[in-house]
A and B are shown apart, each in its own frame.
Chain A
């Protein structure tokens, strides 16, 4: 089975700082593979382990994005493809999907495209569906369980109070949620081996044609919202402290 997994190099939110006006300092900020994409990669690698075949990791991003591809390759990806984009003029969701789909079409026969529910930095959750549209493949969203058998993919999709089971013919695009699996930790040796593997570069210009969607969409502003935690420390015995905790929660209207 030839599987493509889409990953994004996202800003590492744990290291992100903002200027006094609340604008995140994105230039030079530390990046890593989006947390949600770890579930996507895990699912792709599991499908490869069950069915054989390859897992091609595809990303679009600046030079830093290679780091995300290597993280995915350490988890079991067999090949890495990087569409090099200028982070200052990064395409919007539709442009990203267009470029990813064009790249996927160049990879030969693909049976399954896996992505995650959204990116851990922007969390728009649009690209998977748009890629499916460009590839003219069915899209099975928010899967918490994925099975492939007899040329078909079956997914369980959770919703409040129930489960919906979807099935489609392969090739298909599937987005997984974090309940789908527990991402593996690669060993340090696997990380080292992945770090030395070559990654194929696809120039963005080679994928862009006249039909590229110029939507004119721009991100005008991003500000962080400060959360003021109260950091109340309750002292006394566990019994006293638990009473104080209940009182404090009542006072805050939580209980």
Chain B
């Protein structure tokens, strides 16, 4: 499947103008060629556990995907967040689990770029942007997911160190990561801590291999047992850790939404090819009116989700509030992806139901209606913003 095309090109032109869109388009076209040739062919094998997790991520690190939205002084390319978001759509279409693993890694890099000290930036950002180091985001706990503020992990200050104790659940990149961004309750609220993967107090539990989808990334519990971290590992201000997490999740939701746009396109593309070839009642399946309704709905919803996520990206670039738009984009994109993948299975009938290569897209999409803000929580956030408006 051709990942970059006129749909993305026109979005770039409408947001950034023809000149910049030329350069951004060339970058995305080049990324697309690598994804089509080197990543997409591994995707089914990753889902089936026949391919090494991390191999496609290494390819994309080498291409410089993590450098896109970050400042050149730390090895980034300084491109608008929206260009990165479109890149993540392409990556999501090639292999959603690799895209998610990279998206979360990049969220930690953004955390350091935004809230980190000069030393933390210098020490970690070049290694994270080049992929020499991998990062994980550790907020969710066994007994608190959507209600993240109720976290039980504690960080107690002892001299020039913090002692962190607690447990984190469903952590992407666990076991592979070199750096974990761990959120914990402190004496003055919440804190965010950069914990080295080699810290003897950080223990990775059993990998959650029975998960429905996203099987090309690792997920596990992370336990912090008297985990001693230096005070200069605190990211941003002590007491503001939860606020930092909320801000980071706003950006990450755009990315997860765009990954879902990619997932939907992958499933839709397969169903479309099938419908054009399959014959029944003396016609092509694609000539039947009910099929055309599915095609039109999928194309419209994919465009709508992409545009809402890109609108949130543009607001972020312009440093305007974008929290509600990012939440709306993620709700729309994730639920749209599940609907579109379901329609693809339906269109392909028995072949859709019995083929890993079709239903895996639905299984992948399903996670993102839960992770990085469940649809219900995001609807609460959106409704609150709406009700706060002056009538």
Contact = CB atoms under 8 A, between A and B. Distances in A.
Nearest to A185: B34
Contact of B6 (A30, A32, A186): A30
Contacts of A191: 26-27, 30
B282 interface: no
A8 interface: no
Nearest to B278: A231
Interface string B1-45: 010011000000000000000110011011101100000000000
Contacts of A196: 23
B77 interface: yes
Interface stretch (A66-74, A112-120, A129-137, A205-213): A66-74
B277 A15 contact: no
Interface residues of B, number: 23
B138 interface: no
A233 interface: yes
Contacts of B307: none
Contact of A185 (B26, B63, B77): B63
A14 interface: yes
A229 interface: yes
Interface string A1-20: 00000000000001100000
Which residue, of A15, A74, A231, has the highest number of chain B Cβ atoms within 10 A?
Answer: A231
A229 B276 CA distance: 11
B67 interface: yes
A80 B33 CA distance: 22
A138 interface: no
Nearest to A71: B26
B65 A15 contact: no
A229 B30 contact: no
B29 A188 contact: no
A186 B30 contact: yes
Interface string B127-142: 0000000000000000
A5 B375 CA distance: 54
A206 B278 CA distance: 56
B77 to A, nearest CB: 6
A191 B30 CA distance: 8
Which residue, of B26, B63, B65, B277, has the highest number of chain A Cβ atoms within 10 A?
Answer: B26
Contact of A67 (B2, B22, B33, B77): B22
Contact of B5 (A15, A188, A189, A231): A15
B30 A74 contact: yes
Chain B residues touching A, majority SS: helix
A192 interface: yes
A187 interface: yes
Contacts of B29: 32
B237 interface: no
Interface string A196-229: 1000000000000000000000000000000001
A188 B67 contact: yes
A237 B278 CA distance: 21
A107 B147 CA distance: 67
Contact of A187 (B26, B62, B278): B62
Nearest to B87: A188
Contacts of B68: 188
Nearest to A183: B33
A135 to B, nearest CB: 31
A15 B31 CA distance: 17
Contact of A188 (B2, B6, B63): B63
Contact of B27 (A15, A30, A32, A192): A192
Contact of B26 (A14, A15, A195): A195
B26 A70 contact: yes
B64 A187 contact: yes
A192 B79 contact: yes
A185 B277 contact: no
Which residue, of A15, A32, A194, A195, has the highest number of chain B Cβ atoms within 10 A?
Answer: A195
Contact of A14 (B2, B23, B67, B79): B2
A170 B351 CA distance: 59
A74 B64 CA distance: 14
Contacts of B34: 185
B27 A195 contact: yes
Which residue, of A71, A188, A191, A229, has the highest number of chain B Cβ atoms within 10 A?
Answer: A188
Contact of B77 (A15, A30, A71, A188): A188
B30 A188 contact: yes
Contact of B30 (A14, A185, A233): A185
Contacts of B278: 231
Given A30-B6, A67-B22, A233-B351, A192 B33 contact: no
A189 B30 contact: no
Contacts of A194: 26
A253 B34 CA distance: 38
Contacts of A30: 5-6
Interface in B194-253: none
Interface of A: 14-15, 30, 32, 67, 70-71, 74, 185-189, 191-192, 194-196, 229, 231, 233
24 contacts: A14-B2, A15-B6, A30-B5, A70-B26, A74-B30, A185-B30, A185-B33, A185-B34, A185-B63, A186-B30, A187-B62, A187-B64, A188-B27, A188-B30, A188-B63, A188-B64, A188-B65, A188-B67, A188-B68, A189-B77, A191-B30, A192-B77, A192-B79, A195-B22
Given A185-B30, A188-B64, 12 more contacts: A15-B2, A30-B5, A71-B30, A187-B62, A188-B27, A188-B31, A189-B77, A194-B26, A195-B22, A195-B26, A195-B27, A196-B23
Interface of B: 2, 5-6, 22-23, 26-27, 29-31, 33-34, 62-65, 67-68, 77, 79, 277-278, 351
10 smallest beta-carbon distances between A and B, as pairs: A231-B277, A195-B23, A188-B64, A191-B30, A187-B64, A191-B27, A189-B64, A188-B27, A185-B34, A195-B26
